[in-house]
Structure 1
């Protein structure tokens, strides 16, 4: 494995930071929430991994969340996975699936092929290392090769095909008995 993630069980999607920041837990009103998530990422258990691709996405916006990410989370960012054979194998399977399944139009597949795009990388990491993905994203519904999606693939849809589970941040909060 790329870096010290021996206890990891989950890899976290950007929307699991963005949604709480914008909708549920403002940093000024719920500092205990942000201390809790920080502890999950850099604490002794380190069961939740924030990969470099998610870190880069979150730290570039210039808002209060990006400052918090850069100042608090940067030291524990999961790096080096893109040189790991297990990860690369899974990433290749994902991209091959997108090309051959018939459920997505070319533009949707091209979006997931971009280097900055975290979604396929999260799935590849989870598949390679036996993790689940923490995301608020929902499945697209019934996929059909007769009517391919114009929009990009959804994490839960592709993750399911790759044998990877998805869990919402609310389920993680229950699991770890968050109390703010």
Structure 2
């Protein structure tokens, strides 16, 4: 695990920052939440990994969240996965599965093939480093080869195939005993 904290247990999806920012914990009304998140992420014993692809997605939003992300999260961004052969093996498994499973139409597969797309990278990181994914995303439901989806794959569906667990931010907040 090159330069990955040995205490790491989770890798976090962009929506686990965006949803609290937009729906649950506005920065104006719940500054204590954002202070807790900041302290938890920058603490050397942090169990939550923020991969570079998620950081890049969030810092480009041009809002208060982007400013917060740039100010507090950038120093702890996990970048080294891009040099790790284990990550590339897992990423390859994901892309091969998308091609071969028959559940997704070409536009959905092409979407996940884009270099900027965080979802497959997030799953590959989780698989390579034995981490759980923190996400609000839900499975698509029944997948059918006779009627492949036009929409992009859902993280929990592909994570399940890869043997990776997904948990909601609320579950992690409970486990880490968030008090605001």
**Which structure 2 residues correspond to residues 70-109 of structure 1 after superposition, within 5 A?**
70-109=70-109
The residue that corresponds to 1:155 in the other structure is: 155
CA RMSD of aligned residues (A): 0.8
Unaligned runs of 5+ in 1: none
* TM-score (norm. length: structure 1): 0.98
Note the C-alpha offset of 1:62. 1.2
Note the C-alpha offset of 1:4. 3.4
Matched, 1:124 2:128: no
What SS does structure 1 have at the residue aligned with 2:96? helix
Q: Matches of 2:4 and 2:153 in 1, distance apart?
A: 30
Q: Matches of 2:4 and 2:149 in 1, distance apart?
A: 38
* TM-score (norm. length: structure 2): 0.98
**Which structure 2 residues correspond to residues 18-167 of structure 1 after superposition, within 5 A?**
18-167=18-167
Note the C-alpha offset of 1:29. 1.0
Contact 1:2 1:79 in 2 (8 A): no
Note the C-alpha offset of 1:85. 0.5
| Distance of aligned partners of 1:111 and 1:143 in 2 relative to their CA distance in 1, 3 Å threshold | same
Task: Compare 35-44 and 106-115 and name the one that shifted more.
Answer: 35-44
Q: Matches of 1:83 and 1:92 in 2, distance apart?
A: 14
Note the C-alpha offset of 1:16. 0.2
Note the C-alpha offset of 1:3. 2.1
What SS does structure 1 have at the residue aligned with 2:26? coil
Q: Matches of 1:73 and 1:101 in 2, distance apart?
A: 36
Q: Matches of 2:83 and 2:109 in 1, distance apart?
A: 22
Contact 2:5 2:45 in 1 (8 A): no
